Chain A
Amino acid sequence: MTQESNGYKSGSNLEKVLRNGYFAATAELGPPKNADAEIVRSKAKILKGRVDAVNITDNQTAIVRMSSVGAGLIAHGEGLEPIMQMTCRDRNRLAMQADLLGAYALGLRNVLCLTGDHQTFGNHPQAKNVHDLDSMQLVQMVVGLRDKNCFQCGEELKGANPRFFVGAAENPFGDPFDWRPYRLGKKVRAGADFIQTQLIYNVPRFREFMKRVVDMGLHKQVYILAGVGPIRTPGAAKYMRDQVPGMDVPDEIVARMEAAGKGIDDKKARAAAFREEGLKICVELIQQMREIEGLAGVHIMAIEWEDAVPGLAEKAGLLPRPVL
Protein backbone atom coordinates (compact mmCIF):
# COMPACT_ATOMS: atom_id res chain seq x y z
CA MET A 1 0.00 0.00 0.00
CA THR A 2 1.32 3.41 -0.90
CA GLN A 3 1.24 5.74 2.06
CA GLU A 4 1.74 9.41 1.28
CA SER A 5 4.55 10.95 3.26
CA ASN A 6 4.72 13.70 5.87
CA GLY A 7 1.48 12.77 7.54
CA TYR A 8 -0.69 14.01 4.71
CA LYS A 9 -3.95 12.18 4.23
CA SER A 10 -3.84 12.33 0.46
CA GLY A 11 -0.76 14.34 -0.41
CA SER A 12 -2.80 16.44 -2.83
CA ASN A 13 -1.62 19.95 -3.61
CA LEU A 14 -4.80 21.38 -2.11
CA GLU A 15 -4.19 19.52 1.14
CA LYS A 16 -0.59 20.75 1.28
CA VAL A 17 -1.58 24.35 0.61
CA LEU A 18 -4.24 24.27 3.33
CA ARG A 19 -2.13 22.38 5.84
CA ASN A 20 0.68 24.87 5.41
CA GLY A 21 -1.62 27.73 6.23
CA TYR A 22 -1.89 29.43 2.87
CA PHE A 23 -5.16 31.09 1.94
CA ALA A 24 -6.27 28.61 -0.72
CA ALA A 25 -7.88 29.33 -4.05
CA THR A 26 -9.81 26.82 -6.11
CA ALA A 27 -11.76 27.27 -9.31
CA GLU A 28 -14.17 25.34 -11.42
CA LEU A 29 -13.88 23.65 -14.81
CA GLY A 30 -17.09 22.59 -16.49
CA PRO A 31 -16.58 19.59 -18.79
CA PRO A 32 -18.08 19.90 -22.28
CA LYS A 33 -21.36 18.42 -23.48
CA ASN A 34 -19.39 16.29 -25.90
CA ALA A 35 -16.33 14.08 -26.08
CA ASP A 36 -13.82 16.77 -27.08
CA ALA A 37 -10.72 16.49 -24.90
CA GLU A 38 -9.29 19.66 -26.44
CA ILE A 39 -11.97 21.79 -24.74
CA VAL A 40 -10.90 20.48 -21.36
CA ARG A 41 -7.23 21.01 -22.21
CA SER A 42 -7.75 24.61 -23.28
CA LYS A 43 -9.73 25.43 -20.13
CA ALA A 44 -7.05 23.71 -18.04
CA LYS A 45 -4.34 25.83 -19.66
CA ILE A 46 -6.20 28.99 -18.61
CA LEU A 47 -6.43 27.88 -14.99
CA LYS A 48 -3.03 26.28 -14.51
CA GLY A 49 -0.91 28.07 -11.94
CA ARG A 50 -3.73 30.48 -11.08
CA VAL A 51 -5.39 28.34 -8.42
CA ASP A 52 -4.41 25.40 -6.20
CA ALA A 53 -6.95 22.92 -7.50
CA VAL A 54 -9.94 22.90 -9.81
CA ASN A 55 -13.38 21.35 -9.34
CA ILE A 56 -14.41 19.18 -12.25
CA THR A 57 -18.18 19.21 -12.17
CA ASP A 58 -20.26 16.04 -12.32
CA ASN A 59 -23.24 16.41 -14.68
CA GLN A 60 -23.70 19.91 -13.31
CA THR A 61 -27.33 21.08 -13.11
CA ALA A 62 -28.28 17.52 -14.09
CA ILE A 63 -27.14 18.00 -17.67
CA VAL A 64 -25.09 15.22 -19.26
CA ARG A 65 -21.46 16.20 -19.74
CA MET A 66 -18.13 14.46 -19.97
CA SER A 67 -17.60 12.59 -16.70
CA SER A 68 -15.66 14.20 -13.90
CA VAL A 69 -13.23 11.27 -13.86
CA GLY A 70 -12.57 11.56 -17.60
CA ALA A 71 -12.31 15.33 -17.71
CA GLY A 72 -10.38 15.28 -14.43
CA LEU A 73 -7.76 12.99 -15.88
CA ILE A 74 -7.36 15.21 -18.96
CA ALA A 75 -6.97 18.28 -16.74
CA HIS A 76 -4.49 16.38 -14.58
CA GLY A 77 -2.49 15.63 -17.70
CA GLU A 78 -2.24 19.38 -18.28
CA GLY A 79 -0.66 19.87 -14.88
CA LEU A 80 -3.82 21.00 -13.12
CA GLU A 81 -4.91 19.42 -9.87
CA PRO A 82 -8.52 18.24 -10.17
CA ILE A 83 -11.13 18.04 -7.45
CA MET A 84 -13.43 15.39 -8.79
CA GLN A 85 -17.03 16.23 -7.99
CA MET A 86 -19.27 13.28 -7.28
CA THR A 87 -23.02 13.48 -6.87
CA CYS A 88 -25.39 10.97 -5.30
CA ARG A 89 -28.01 11.56 -7.98
CA ASP A 90 -26.69 9.32 -10.74
CA ARG A 91 -24.93 6.41 -9.08
CA ASN A 92 -25.45 3.95 -6.28
CA ARG A 93 -22.83 2.95 -3.73
CA LEU A 94 -21.37 0.26 -5.98
CA ALA A 95 -20.83 2.60 -8.92
CA MET A 96 -19.46 5.39 -6.74
CA GLN A 97 -16.90 3.18 -5.04
CA ALA A 98 -15.85 1.71 -8.38
CA ASP A 99 -15.32 5.22 -9.75
CA LEU A 100 -13.38 6.22 -6.63
CA LEU A 101 -11.03 3.28 -7.09
CA GLY A 102 -10.62 4.04 -10.78
CA ALA A 103 -10.12 7.77 -10.27
CA TYR A 104 -7.50 7.23 -7.61
CA ALA A 105 -5.68 4.67 -9.74
CA LEU A 106 -5.59 7.30 -12.50
CA GLY A 107 -3.96 9.82 -10.18
CA LEU A 108 -6.83 11.96 -8.91
CA ARG A 109 -6.47 12.94 -5.26
CA ASN A 110 -9.39 15.21 -4.27
CA VAL A 111 -13.09 14.49 -4.28
CA LEU A 112 -16.04 16.74 -3.49
CA CYS A 113 -19.10 14.87 -2.23
CA LEU A 114 -22.42 16.34 -3.32
CA THR A 115 -26.09 15.47 -3.26
CA GLY A 116 -26.56 16.79 -6.80
CA ASP A 117 -29.15 19.03 -8.39
CA HIS A 118 -32.43 17.26 -8.92
CA GLN A 119 -32.70 15.71 -12.37
CA THR A 120 -35.88 17.62 -13.17
CA PHE A 121 -33.66 20.71 -13.70
CA GLY A 122 -31.56 19.08 -16.39
CA ASN A 123 -31.84 17.67 -19.87
CA HIS A 124 -33.06 14.22 -18.83
CA PRO A 125 -35.95 15.00 -16.48
CA GLN A 126 -37.35 11.55 -17.30
CA ALA A 127 -34.41 9.85 -15.57
CA LYS A 128 -34.71 7.69 -12.49
CA ASN A 129 -32.85 9.33 -9.64
CA VAL A 130 -30.68 7.22 -7.41
CA HIS A 131 -29.89 8.84 -4.05
CA ASP A 132 -28.84 5.51 -2.59
CA LEU A 133 -26.60 7.57 -0.31
CA ASP A 134 -26.79 11.24 0.59
CA SER A 135 -23.77 13.55 0.55
CA MET A 136 -23.13 13.03 4.27
CA GLN A 137 -23.01 9.28 3.81
CA LEU A 138 -20.83 9.66 0.71
CA VAL A 139 -18.27 11.59 2.78
CA GLN A 140 -18.30 8.76 5.32
CA MET A 141 -17.81 6.20 2.57
CA VAL A 142 -14.82 7.96 0.97
CA VAL A 143 -13.24 8.48 4.38
CA GLY A 144 -13.86 4.82 5.25
CA LEU A 145 -12.09 3.69 2.09
CA ARG A 146 -9.14 5.86 3.08
CA ASP A 147 -8.92 5.54 6.86
CA LYS A 148 -10.49 2.18 7.62
CA ASN A 149 -9.51 0.27 4.49
CA CYS A 150 -13.04 -0.87 4.11
CA PHE A 151 -15.84 -0.70 1.61
CA GLN A 152 -19.15 0.83 2.59
CA CYS A 153 -20.52 -2.64 3.39
CA GLY A 154 -17.76 -3.13 5.95
CA GLU A 155 -15.78 -5.61 3.89
CA GLU A 156 -12.02 -5.13 4.08
CA LEU A 157 -10.35 -3.49 1.12
CA LYS A 158 -7.20 -5.47 0.46
CA GLY A 159 -4.30 -3.85 -1.36
CA ALA A 160 -3.95 -0.21 -2.35
CA ASN A 161 -6.77 1.91 -1.00
CA PRO A 162 -7.91 5.22 -2.45
CA ARG A 163 -6.61 8.04 -0.28
CA PHE A 164 -8.58 11.12 -1.23
CA PHE A 165 -8.67 14.57 0.32
CA VAL A 166 -12.39 14.71 0.98
CA GLY A 167 -14.55 17.74 0.46
CA ALA A 168 -18.20 18.57 0.93
CA ALA A 169 -20.39 21.54 0.13
CA GLU A 170 -22.56 23.68 2.33
CA ASN A 171 -25.01 26.41 1.49
CA PRO A 172 -24.98 28.94 4.34
CA PHE A 173 -28.15 30.49 2.96
CA GLY A 174 -30.18 27.34 2.57
CA ASP A 175 -33.05 27.09 5.00
CA PRO A 176 -33.39 26.58 7.87
CA PHE A 177 -30.63 29.16 8.37
CA ASP A 178 -30.24 28.28 12.06
CA TRP A 179 -29.63 24.64 11.26
CA ARG A 180 -26.86 25.21 8.69
CA PRO A 181 -23.91 25.41 11.11
CA TYR A 182 -25.10 22.18 12.74
CA ARG A 183 -25.39 20.48 9.38
CA LEU A 184 -21.87 21.66 8.62
CA GLY A 185 -20.89 20.09 11.94
CA LYS A 186 -22.41 16.81 10.80
CA LYS A 187 -20.27 16.91 7.65
CA VAL A 188 -17.20 17.52 9.79
CA ARG A 189 -18.10 14.52 11.95
CA ALA A 190 -18.63 12.49 8.78
CA GLY A 191 -14.95 13.20 8.13
CA ALA A 192 -14.87 16.04 5.59
CA ASP A 193 -11.43 17.63 5.24
CA PHE A 194 -12.60 20.74 3.43
CA ILE A 195 -15.83 22.56 2.67
CA GLN A 196 -16.68 24.70 -0.33
CA THR A 197 -19.69 26.93 0.13
CA GLN A 198 -22.40 27.93 -2.28
CA LEU A 199 -21.90 31.32 -3.98
CA ILE A 200 -21.85 34.14 -1.43
CA TYR A 201 -23.07 37.64 -2.30
CA ASN A 202 -24.62 38.60 1.02
CA VAL A 203 -21.45 39.06 3.04
CA PRO A 204 -23.03 40.39 6.27
CA ARG A 205 -25.27 37.34 6.46
CA PHE A 206 -22.34 35.06 5.65
CA ARG A 207 -20.35 36.69 8.49
CA GLU A 208 -23.22 35.79 10.81
CA PHE A 209 -23.01 32.18 9.64
CA MET A 210 -19.22 32.12 10.02
CA LYS A 211 -19.41 33.59 13.49
CA ARG A 212 -21.53 30.66 14.58
CA VAL A 213 -19.18 28.25 12.81
CA VAL A 214 -16.24 29.77 14.68
CA ASP A 215 -18.15 29.74 17.98
CA MET A 216 -18.71 26.03 17.46
CA GLY A 217 -15.01 25.55 16.72
CA LEU A 218 -15.74 23.95 13.35
CA HIS A 219 -13.17 26.10 11.51
CA LYS A 220 -10.45 24.28 13.46
CA GLN A 221 -11.69 20.90 12.30
CA VAL A 222 -12.26 21.60 8.63
CA TYR A 223 -10.93 24.00 6.00
CA ILE A 224 -13.70 26.26 4.79
CA LEU A 225 -13.49 27.86 1.35
CA ALA A 226 -16.04 30.55 0.60
CA GLY A 227 -17.72 30.34 -2.79
CA VAL A 228 -17.44 33.48 -4.92
CA GLY A 229 -18.17 34.11 -8.56
CA PRO A 230 -18.25 36.95 -11.10
CA ILE A 231 -21.65 37.94 -12.47
CA ARG A 232 -21.83 38.60 -16.21
CA THR A 233 -25.03 40.60 -16.58
CA PRO A 234 -27.72 42.31 -14.47
CA GLY A 235 -30.08 39.63 -15.77
CA ALA A 236 -27.91 36.89 -14.30
CA ALA A 237 -27.86 38.71 -10.95
CA LYS A 238 -31.65 39.01 -10.96
CA TYR A 239 -32.04 35.40 -11.96
CA MET A 240 -29.89 34.26 -9.05
CA ARG A 241 -31.72 36.60 -6.68
CA ASP A 242 -35.22 35.59 -7.74
CA GLN A 243 -35.09 32.13 -9.27
CA VAL A 244 -32.39 30.02 -7.66
CA PRO A 245 -33.61 28.37 -4.45
CA GLY A 246 -31.19 28.85 -1.58
CA MET A 247 -29.30 31.79 -3.11
CA ASP A 248 -29.10 35.19 -1.47
CA VAL A 249 -28.19 38.05 -3.82
CA PRO A 250 -28.77 41.47 -2.21
CA ASP A 251 -30.49 44.20 -4.21
CA GLU A 252 -27.34 46.35 -4.04
CA ILE A 253 -25.49 43.82 -6.18
CA VAL A 254 -28.25 43.87 -8.79
CA ALA A 255 -28.33 47.67 -8.67
CA ARG A 256 -24.55 47.90 -9.16
CA MET A 257 -24.71 45.61 -12.16
CA GLU A 258 -27.55 47.65 -13.68
CA ALA A 259 -25.80 50.96 -13.04
CA ALA A 260 -22.67 49.73 -14.80
CA GLY A 261 -24.44 49.76 -18.15
CA LYS A 262 -26.21 53.13 -17.75
CA GLY A 263 -25.63 55.54 -20.60
CA ILE A 264 -23.76 53.05 -22.77
CA ASP A 265 -25.66 52.55 -26.03
CA ASP A 266 -23.26 50.28 -27.86
CA LYS A 267 -24.29 46.70 -27.12
CA LYS A 268 -20.79 45.31 -27.01
CA ALA A 269 -19.47 48.13 -24.88
CA ARG A 270 -22.37 47.69 -22.47
CA ALA A 271 -21.75 43.96 -22.17
CA ALA A 272 -18.09 44.69 -21.48
CA ALA A 273 -19.04 47.22 -18.81
CA PHE A 274 -21.30 44.66 -17.14
CA ARG A 275 -18.53 42.08 -17.13
CA GLU A 276 -16.04 44.56 -15.74
CA GLU A 277 -18.41 45.45 -12.89
CA GLY A 278 -19.09 41.77 -12.23
CA LEU A 279 -15.37 41.09 -11.96
CA LYS A 280 -14.90 44.13 -9.73
CA ILE A 281 -17.62 42.93 -7.36
CA CYS A 282 -16.01 39.50 -7.27
CA VAL A 283 -12.57 40.94 -6.43
CA GLU A 284 -14.17 42.91 -3.59
CA LEU A 285 -15.89 39.76 -2.35
CA ILE A 286 -12.61 37.85 -2.30
CA GLN A 287 -10.95 40.69 -0.39
CA GLN A 288 -13.77 40.69 2.14
CA MET A 289 -13.52 36.92 2.53
CA ARG A 290 -9.86 37.20 3.42
CA GLU A 291 -10.86 39.21 6.47
CA ILE A 292 -13.45 36.77 7.79
CA GLU A 293 -12.29 34.65 10.69
CA GLY A 294 -12.40 30.94 10.10
CA LEU A 295 -12.05 30.97 6.33
CA ALA A 296 -9.20 29.02 4.77
CA GLY A 297 -9.69 30.10 1.18
CA VAL A 298 -12.00 30.96 -1.66
CA HIS A 299 -13.62 28.83 -4.32
CA ILE A 300 -14.06 30.84 -7.52
CA MET A 301 -17.00 29.70 -9.58
CA ALA A 302 -16.76 31.37 -12.97
CA ILE A 303 -19.17 29.05 -14.69
CA GLU A 304 -18.42 28.78 -18.42
CA TRP A 305 -16.22 31.84 -17.90
CA GLU A 306 -12.96 30.18 -16.97
CA ASP A 307 -10.87 32.89 -18.63
CA ALA A 308 -12.07 35.36 -15.99
CA VAL A 309 -10.16 33.48 -13.30
CA PRO A 310 -6.56 34.60 -14.02
CA GLY A 311 -7.54 38.27 -13.88
CA LEU A 312 -9.59 37.77 -10.73
CA ALA A 313 -6.77 35.92 -9.01
CA GLU A 314 -4.33 38.66 -10.01
CA LYS A 315 -6.52 41.59 -8.92
CA ALA A 316 -7.53 39.90 -5.67
CA GLY A 317 -3.88 39.42 -4.75
CA LEU A 318 -4.06 35.64 -4.84
CA LEU A 319 -1.00 35.26 -7.08
CA PRO A 320 1.47 33.73 -7.17
CA ARG A 321 0.13 30.45 -5.85
CA PRO A 322 2.42 28.53 -3.51
CA VAL A 323 4.46 25.72 -5.04
CA LEU A 324 4.84 22.91 -2.49
Chain B
Amino acid sequence: MIVAEQKPLEEIKKMLGEAQRVLVVGCGTCVTVCFAGGEKEAGILGSLLRMASQLDGHPRTVAEVTVQRQCEWEYLDAIRDRLGEADVVLSLGCGIGVQAMAEHFPSAIVLPGLNTSFLGLPAEQGIWVERCAACGNCLLDRTGGICPIARCSKQLLNGPCGGSAKGKCEVNADLDCAWQLIYDKLKAQGRLDLILEITPPKDWRTSRDGGPRKIVREDLRLQPAEAE
Protein backbone atom coordinates (compact mmCIF):
# COMPACT_ATOMS: atom_id res chain seq x y z
CA MET B 1 0.00 0.00 0.00
CA ILE B 2 0.92 3.66 -0.18
CA VAL B 3 2.36 4.80 3.13
CA ALA B 4 2.20 8.44 4.15
CA GLU B 5 2.55 10.62 7.21
CA GLN B 6 0.97 13.87 8.17
CA LYS B 7 2.84 17.12 7.65
CA PRO B 8 3.70 19.05 10.82
CA LEU B 9 0.86 21.25 12.02
CA GLU B 10 2.97 24.40 11.72
CA GLU B 11 3.62 23.68 8.05
CA ILE B 12 -0.08 23.04 7.43
CA LYS B 13 -1.04 26.29 9.17
CA LYS B 14 1.49 28.19 7.06
CA MET B 15 0.11 26.63 3.88
CA LEU B 16 -3.44 27.57 4.82
CA GLY B 17 -2.39 31.19 5.23
CA GLU B 18 -5.32 33.57 5.42
CA ALA B 19 -7.92 31.07 4.20
CA GLN B 20 -11.17 31.53 6.14
CA ARG B 21 -12.97 28.32 5.26
CA VAL B 22 -11.08 25.02 5.13
CA LEU B 23 -12.40 21.66 4.02
CA VAL B 24 -10.27 18.76 5.24
CA VAL B 25 -10.77 15.74 2.98
CA GLY B 26 -9.73 12.34 4.30
CA CYS B 27 -9.27 9.23 2.21
CA GLY B 28 -10.65 5.84 3.14
CA THR B 29 -8.04 3.61 1.53
CA CYS B 30 -4.23 3.37 1.96
CA VAL B 31 -3.79 6.38 4.23
CA THR B 32 -6.57 5.13 6.50
CA VAL B 33 -4.74 1.85 6.96
CA CYS B 34 -1.50 3.64 7.83
CA PHE B 35 -3.26 6.04 10.20
CA ALA B 36 -2.22 9.16 8.32
CA GLY B 37 -5.28 10.53 6.54
CA GLY B 38 -8.44 8.54 7.21
CA GLU B 39 -11.72 9.73 8.70
CA LYS B 40 -10.31 9.65 12.21
CA GLU B 41 -7.18 11.64 11.31
CA ALA B 42 -9.25 14.14 9.32
CA GLY B 43 -11.40 14.68 12.40
CA ILE B 44 -8.41 15.15 14.68
CA LEU B 45 -6.66 17.52 12.29
CA GLY B 46 -9.90 19.49 11.86
CA SER B 47 -10.16 19.90 15.65
CA LEU B 48 -6.50 20.90 15.93
CA LEU B 49 -6.92 23.52 13.23
CA ARG B 50 -10.05 24.91 14.93
CA MET B 51 -8.23 25.12 18.26
CA ALA B 52 -5.20 26.67 16.64
CA SER B 53 -7.31 29.25 14.89
CA GLN B 54 -8.71 30.33 18.27
CA LEU B 55 -5.30 30.37 19.94
CA ASP B 56 -3.68 32.24 17.08
CA GLY B 57 -6.48 34.80 16.96
CA HIS B 58 -7.14 33.90 13.37
CA PRO B 59 -10.69 32.57 13.30
CA ARG B 60 -11.60 30.22 10.50
CA THR B 61 -14.12 27.49 9.96
CA VAL B 62 -12.89 23.98 9.38
CA ALA B 63 -15.10 21.15 8.13
CA GLU B 64 -14.17 17.54 7.41
CA VAL B 65 -15.33 14.93 4.98
CA THR B 66 -13.84 11.57 3.98
CA VAL B 67 -14.21 9.80 0.65
CA GLN B 68 -13.66 6.13 -0.04
CA ARG B 69 -10.82 6.80 -2.49
CA GLN B 70 -9.51 10.20 -3.52
CA CYS B 71 -7.86 8.69 -6.56
CA GLU B 72 -11.07 7.78 -8.39
CA TRP B 73 -13.33 10.29 -10.11
CA GLU B 74 -16.59 8.66 -9.06
CA TYR B 75 -15.79 8.92 -5.36
CA LEU B 76 -14.80 12.56 -5.77
CA ASP B 77 -18.12 13.38 -7.42
CA ALA B 78 -19.76 12.55 -4.10
CA ILE B 79 -18.19 15.61 -2.43
CA ARG B 80 -18.53 18.09 -5.28
CA ASP B 81 -21.22 20.07 -3.47
CA ARG B 82 -19.03 20.41 -0.37
CA LEU B 83 -16.37 22.31 -2.31
CA GLY B 84 -18.49 25.45 -2.50
CA GLU B 85 -18.26 25.94 1.26
CA ALA B 86 -14.46 26.15 1.29
CA ASP B 87 -11.76 28.61 0.29
CA VAL B 88 -9.19 25.83 0.30
CA VAL B 89 -9.31 22.05 0.33
CA LEU B 90 -6.75 20.32 2.55
CA SER B 91 -6.32 16.81 1.19
CA LEU B 92 -5.28 14.02 3.53
CA GLY B 93 -4.87 11.71 0.58
CA CYS B 94 -1.53 10.67 -0.86
CA GLY B 95 0.01 12.70 -3.66
CA ILE B 96 -2.27 10.91 -6.09
CA GLY B 97 -5.36 11.97 -4.14
CA VAL B 98 -4.23 15.60 -4.00
CA GLN B 99 -3.67 15.64 -7.75
CA ALA B 100 -6.90 13.81 -8.51
CA MET B 101 -8.87 16.46 -6.62
CA ALA B 102 -6.92 19.31 -8.20
CA GLU B 103 -7.65 17.84 -11.61
CA HIS B 104 -11.29 16.99 -10.94
CA PHE B 105 -12.12 20.34 -9.35
CA PRO B 106 -10.15 22.79 -11.49
CA SER B 107 -11.20 25.93 -9.64
CA ALA B 108 -10.48 24.54 -6.16
CA ILE B 109 -7.25 25.29 -4.31
CA VAL B 110 -6.13 21.87 -3.12
CA LEU B 111 -3.29 21.62 -0.58
CA PRO B 112 -1.42 18.53 0.62
CA GLY B 113 -1.79 17.65 4.30
CA LEU B 114 0.41 14.55 4.04
CA ASN B 115 3.85 13.64 2.83
CA THR B 116 3.59 10.54 0.68
CA SER B 117 6.43 8.35 1.90
CA PHE B 118 6.69 5.06 0.06
CA LEU B 119 5.11 1.80 -1.09
CA GLY B 120 5.35 -0.56 1.80
CA LEU B 121 3.74 -2.50 4.57
CA PRO B 122 3.26 -2.41 8.32
CA ALA B 123 6.10 -4.59 9.65
CA GLU B 124 4.60 -4.44 13.11
CA GLN B 125 2.18 -2.21 14.97
CA GLY B 126 3.35 1.36 14.45
CA ILE B 127 6.20 0.54 12.04
CA TRP B 128 5.97 0.78 8.27
CA VAL B 129 8.74 -0.22 5.88
CA GLU B 130 9.39 0.31 2.19
CA ARG B 131 9.14 -2.70 -0.08
CA CYS B 132 8.69 -1.57 -3.70
CA ALA B 133 10.19 1.23 -5.79
CA ALA B 134 7.74 0.74 -8.68
CA CYS B 135 10.65 0.36 -11.12
CA GLY B 136 8.32 -1.17 -13.67
CA ASN B 137 10.28 -4.36 -14.30
CA CYS B 138 10.08 -6.77 -11.40
CA LEU B 139 13.15 -8.85 -10.65
CA LEU B 140 12.00 -10.50 -7.43
CA ASP B 141 12.18 -13.93 -9.09
CA ARG B 142 15.97 -13.64 -9.03
CA THR B 143 16.45 -12.21 -5.57
CA GLY B 144 14.49 -14.50 -3.31
CA GLY B 145 11.52 -12.16 -3.11
CA ILE B 146 13.60 -9.34 -1.61
CA CYS B 147 13.91 -6.18 -3.69
CA PRO B 148 17.41 -4.66 -3.95
CA ILE B 149 16.05 -1.61 -5.77
CA ALA B 150 13.77 -0.64 -2.92
CA ARG B 151 15.77 -2.07 -0.03
CA CYS B 152 19.48 -1.65 -0.82
CA SER B 153 20.60 1.91 -0.11
CA LYS B 154 22.66 1.86 -3.31
CA GLN B 155 20.19 -0.11 -5.44
CA LEU B 156 22.93 -2.66 -6.17
CA LEU B 157 22.04 -5.47 -8.51
CA ASN B 158 25.25 -7.35 -7.68
CA GLY B 159 25.59 -6.73 -3.98
CA PRO B 160 26.38 -6.60 -1.21
CA CYS B 161 28.81 -3.69 -1.10
CA GLY B 162 31.75 -3.65 1.30
CA GLY B 163 29.73 -1.79 3.90
CA SER B 164 27.52 -4.72 4.82
CA ALA B 165 28.26 -5.62 8.43
CA LYS B 166 26.52 -8.09 10.74
CA GLY B 167 23.44 -8.04 8.56
CA LYS B 168 23.09 -4.27 8.64
CA CYS B 169 23.50 -1.52 6.07
CA GLU B 170 26.41 0.92 6.31
CA VAL B 171 24.00 3.81 6.04
CA ASN B 172 22.13 3.08 9.23
CA ALA B 173 22.51 0.30 11.77
CA ASP B 174 18.70 0.07 11.99
CA LEU B 175 18.50 -0.91 8.34
CA ASP B 176 18.84 -4.51 7.28
CA CYS B 177 21.31 -5.12 4.46
CA ALA B 178 19.04 -6.23 1.63
CA TRP B 179 21.81 -8.29 0.08
CA GLN B 180 22.46 -10.15 3.33
CA LEU B 181 18.74 -10.99 3.36
CA ILE B 182 18.88 -12.09 -0.28
CA TYR B 183 21.96 -14.21 0.39
CA ASP B 184 20.48 -15.86 3.48
CA LYS B 185 17.21 -16.61 1.72
CA LEU B 186 18.76 -18.08 -1.41
CA LYS B 187 21.29 -20.04 0.61
CA ALA B 188 18.54 -21.56 2.73
CA GLN B 189 16.67 -22.49 -0.44
CA GLY B 190 19.78 -23.87 -2.14
CA ARG B 191 19.45 -21.32 -4.93
CA LEU B 192 22.64 -19.23 -4.61
CA ASP B 193 23.34 -19.95 -8.27
CA LEU B 194 20.78 -17.22 -9.02
CA ILE B 195 23.19 -14.54 -7.83
CA LEU B 196 26.41 -16.13 -9.04
CA GLU B 197 25.73 -14.73 -12.47
CA ILE B 198 26.30 -11.03 -13.05
CA THR B 199 23.06 -9.13 -13.31
CA PRO B 200 23.46 -6.74 -16.25
CA PRO B 201 22.74 -3.01 -16.02
CA LYS B 202 19.07 -2.29 -15.52
CA ASP B 203 16.96 -0.71 -18.22
CA TRP B 204 15.54 2.17 -16.22
CA ARG B 205 13.10 3.23 -18.92
CA THR B 206 10.30 1.36 -17.18
CA SER B 207 11.06 3.34 -14.04
CA ARG B 208 10.45 7.06 -13.53
CA ASP B 209 13.65 7.68 -15.56
CA GLY B 210 11.72 7.04 -18.77
CA GLY B 211 9.39 9.95 -18.03
CA PRO B 212 5.91 9.83 -16.42
CA ARG B 213 4.39 6.41 -17.00
CA LYS B 214 1.07 5.37 -18.41
CA ILE B 215 -0.63 2.05 -19.01
CA VAL B 216 -3.23 1.64 -21.76
CA ARG B 217 -5.33 -1.53 -21.76
CA GLU B 218 -7.37 -1.54 -24.93
CA ASP B 219 -9.23 -4.63 -23.76
CA LEU B 220 -10.64 -2.68 -20.85
CA ARG B 221 -11.39 0.63 -22.51
CA LEU B 222 -15.02 1.57 -23.06
CA GLN B 223 -14.29 3.37 -26.29
CA PRO B 224 -11.35 1.63 -27.95
CA ALA B 225 -9.27 4.10 -29.89
CA GLU B 226 -10.17 3.95 -33.54
CA ALA B 227 -7.45 3.98 -36.11
CA GLU B 228 -6.57 7.64 -36.48
Contacts and interface: CB of A to CB of B under 8 A. Distances in A.
A61 B158 CA distance: 21
Interface of A: 88-89, 93, 115-118, 120, 129, 131-137, 140-141, 152, 169-171, 174-176, 179, 182-183, 185-186, 189-190, 198, 245-246
A189 B165 contact: no
Contacts of B204: 132
B68 interface: no
Nearest to A120: B171
A115 B154 contact: yes
Given A132-B201, A190-B198, A245-B170, A175 B154 contact: no
Interface of B: 153-172, 177, 180, 183-184, 192, 196, 198-201, 204
Contacts of A116: 154
Contacts of B177: 175
Contact of B166 (A136, A175, A198): A175
A208 to B, nearest CB: 17
B198 A131 contact: no
Contacts of A141: 201
Contact of B164 (A88, A190, A246): A246
B158 A175 contact: no
Nearest to A175: B164
Given A115-B161, A118-B163, A170-B162, A137 B196 contact: no
A198 B171 contact: no
Contacts of A170: 162
Given A134-B156, A175-B165, 19 more contacts: A115-B162, A118-B153, A118-B163, A118-B170, A135-B161, A137-B200, A141-B201, A169-B162, A174-B160, A174-B162, A176-B160, A176-B184, A182-B192, A186-B198, A190-B198, A245-B168, A246-B162, A246-B164, A246-B165
Contacts of B167: 175
Contacts of A174: 160-165
A171 to B, nearest CB: 3
A246 B180 contact: no
19 contacts: A88-B154, A116-B154, A118-B171, A120-B171, A132-B204, A133-B201, A134-B156, A137-B158, A137-B198, A137-B200, A141-B201, A170-B162, A174-B164, A175-B177, A176-B183, A182-B196, A245-B164, A246-B162, A246-B165
A136 B198 contact: yes
A313 B183 CA distance: 39
Contacts of A198: 162
Contacts of B201: 93, 132-133, 137, 140-141, 152
B84 to A, nearest CB: 41
B181 to A, nearest CB: 10
A134 B159 contact: yes
Contacts of B192: 182
A49 B100 CA distance: 67
B158 A186 contact: yes
A183 B180 CA distance: 13
A302 to B, nearest CB: 19
Contacts of A132: 201, 204
B152 to A, nearest CB: 9
Contacts of A136: 157-158, 198-199
Given A118-B153, A129-B154, A131-B155, A186 B162 contact: no
Given A174-B165, A175-B177, A134 B157 contact: yes
Contacts of B154: 88-89, 115-116, 118, 129, 131, 134
A247 to B, nearest CB: 8
Nearest to B153: A118
B160 A175 contact: yes
Contacts of B198: 136-137, 140, 186, 189-190
Contact of B158 (A118, A134, A152): A134
Q: 5 shortest A-B CB distances, which residue pairs?
A: A171-B162, A136-B158, A245-B165, A245-B170, A174-B162
A206 to B, nearest CB: 14
A114 B61 CA distance: 57
Contacts of B183: 176, 179
Nearest to B184: A176
A140 B196 CA distance: 15
